[in-house]
Amino acid sequence: MPGDLPVHVAIIMDGNGRWAKERGWPRIRGHEKGVESIREVIKACGDIGIRYLTLYAFSTENWARPKEEIDFLMNMLSAYLDKEREGFLKNEIRFNAIGRLSDLPGEVRKKLENLTRETQKNRKLFLTLALSYSSRVELSDAARRISEKVLKGEIGLDSITPRTIDEHLYTAGMPDPDLLIRTSGEMRLSNFLLWQLSYAEIYVTEKRWPDFGKEDLLEAVREYSKRERRFGRTEAKSKSK
C-alpha cells in the first residue's frame, strides 16, 4: 500500500439499480448487495488507515423515487443501523450522519442519534452517511445560520471568510475530502459536497457499486498516491498529514 494515503475519502455509491436490472432482478436486490459493498469498504478503510469515510447514501432528490422503493430503503437503513452497532463499537468506528435528517422516519432518526452518541468516543475511523442530503441545501442552511448571526451582531459582515462557511456546514470539524470515488462511470458530482470537494482528486470507475470491493478501493488509493495535488499552486503540495 502506498505511503500517501488520503485522510478523507468520499464515495458516490452509484449503480445499484442498474446492477440489478442487468441481471433481470428487482432494484431492491441491487440495494441489498450494495450494503455488502459498504461493509467491505468500511473494513478496508479501517485496515489501511484511512481516517474519514463519507458515503452518499440517499439524496434529497431520491425522495422522488417510488414509495415502495423508498420504504424498502428506509427499512433497510433501520436494519443496517441495528446490525452494525456492535461492529462499530468493537472496531472503534465513530458514526455520523449529515443531511436534512428531519425528513427521515422518526424511528430511523432515533437510531441515527443513538448510534452517533454511543460511538462518539471511537477514534479509528470516522464514518459519515449523507442521508436526505443536498449540497445546495447545505449551503443554503449555512448562509441562513450565518445571516442570523450577522443580524444578532454575533458576526460582522467584514469578518465572513471561507472558514466561516466551513464552520456552518453539516461537515463542520471534518477535513475536506482528499479523494472522491464515483462508481458506475458517471462523470458528475450529483449535488454532493460541492464546497468540500473543491480540491479533491476524482476517481471514476465503470464498476457498479455492488461490484465495488476492497481491491477496487485499494486501486483508487494507489491512483491517488500517484497524483500531484497543486491546489492552484505552481508546485505540488505535500500530501503528508
> What tens digit of pLDDT does each residue of 142-170 get?
999 999 999 999 999 999 999 999 999 99
Q: Is 14 a catalytic residue?
A: yes
Over the stretch 81-97, which tens digit does the pLDDT of each residue have?
999 999 999 999 999 99
* This prediction's pTM: 0.94
Please identify which of the residues 14, 16, 178, 216 carries the catalytic annotation.
Answer: 14
Which domains, ranges and CATH numbers included, belong to the chain? Answer: 8-133+178-226 (3.40.1180.10)
Task: State the SS3 of the chain.
Answer: CCCCCCCEEEEECCCHHHHHHHCCCCHHHHHHHHHHHHHHHHHHHHHHCCCEEEEEEEEHHHHHCCHHHHHHHHHHHHHHHHHHHHHHHHCCEEEEEECCHHHCCHHHHHHHHHHHHHCCCCCCEEEEEEEEECHHHHHHHHHHHHHHHHHCCCCCHHHCCHHHHHCCCCCCCCCCCCEEEECCCCCCCCCCCCCCCCCCEEEECCCCHHHCCHHHHHHHHHHHHHCCCCCCCCCCCCCCC
Please identify which of the residues 4, 47, 62, 122 carries the catalytic annotation.
Answer: 62
At 228, the pLDDT band (50, 70, 90 cuts) reads: confident
Average of pLDDT values for 42-55? Answer: 97
Q: Is 71 a catalytic residue?
A: no
